[in-house]
Amino acid sequence: DAGVIQSPRHEVTEMGQEVTLRCKPISGHDYLFWYRQTMMRGLELLIYFNNNVPIDDSGMPEDRFSAKMPNASFSTLKIQPSEPRDSAVYFCASSFYKGAGEQYFGPGTRLTVT
């Protein structure tokens, strides 16, 4: 299996622009998680889906952030409009409902908003 795939790996954009991050979970996994990681705050859960349905979006910082999962193999995290404080590494992770529910992470998207 290729693991969790994220694109782009790096994104540099100007304040006010729309940013779309993409994720393909591991085939067969039914949970998908979006995280943001910064030095100050560590790894923060933004939102997670179960069987393509959003379960908990309490970590989404504000209305500028939105996430969708139109099918089992694809999810997007969108920031519109972007701000410099959104600069961080964004990770997608997936897991299977059985067992410990251990999560497998993608390589991340490093976002810089200038």
Which parts of this chain interact with other proteins (CB under 8 A)? 4, 31, 33, 42-43, 45, 48, 50, 55-56, 91, 93, 95, 97, 100-108, 110
- Closest contact distance (angstroms) between CB of 72 and other proteins is 16
Nearer to other proteins, 37 or 81 (CB): 37
- Closest contact distance (angstroms) between CB of 89 and other proteins is 8
Can you tell me the distance from the alpha carbon of 37 to that of 110, in angstroms, rounded to the nearest whole number? 10
Can you tell me the distance from the alpha carbon of 109 to that of 55, in angstroms, rounded to the nearest whole number? 23
- Closest contact distance (angstroms) between CB of 16 and other proteins is 27
Quick one: tokens of 30? 């039914």
In Å, what is the CA distance from 87 to each residue of 13, 42, 60?
A: 10, 13, 15
